[in-house]
Amino acid sequence: MFLLRKLEGSPRLRPTQTLGLTRRIKTGEGTLYITINEDEQGLCEVFTTIGKAGGNAAAQSEAISRLISLALRSGVNPQSIVRQLKGISGPNPTWEDGRLILSTPDAIGKALDDYLHEKNQRTKKENY
């Protein structure tokens, strides 16, 4: 018998103002632009743009971004998201700044991981 856990509450609402950054990453499907935003409670959303609007790559990256944003606003640990995305292989891996980008999901995971690492480094410097 399967036990279903009742989810309490719902994702926090998106604030009217966020702060973040946008990165450009070359992937085998085209150039990915990823924006990672925070609010006063932490990471809250990710937006991605790749290829032509209406194309398959654009649709898939938008779907991933929406699910990441929902997960972040629902309290999922960002490192858990990174672990799920990094390492996903696609048909057209490519090199970007000496680093192998396996797919668009891999690029999104690596960008999020980089953001978290850089944020951690800034926090350490501020605490010294």
| Segment (H or E) for 96 | strand 94-96
Domain count along the chain: 1
The answer to whether residue 14 is domain-embedded is no
| Digit-coded pLDDT (tens) for 70-128 | 999 999 999 999 999 999 999 999 999 999 999 999 999 999 999 999 998 888 777 77
CA distances from 117 to 12, 105, 112 (A): 24, 18, 9
pTM given for the model: 0.88
The Cα–Cα gap between 64 and 53 comes to: 15
Q: 11: burial class by Cβ within 10 Å (0-12, 13-18, 19+)?
A: middle
The Cα–Cα gap between 121 and 83 comes to: 20
Query: SS3 for 14?
Result: coil
The answer to whether residue 13 is domain-embedded is no
| Digit-coded pLDDT (tens) for 4-38 | 444 566 899 988 999 999 999 999 999 999 999 99
Domain that holds residue 70: 19-126
Amino acid (one-letter) located at 99: R
The answer to whether residue 23 is domain-embedded is yes
The answer to whether residue 56 is domain-embedded is yes
The answer to whether residue 3 is domain-embedded is no
| Digit-coded pLDDT (tens) for 54-84 | 889 999 999 999 999 999 999 999 999 999 9
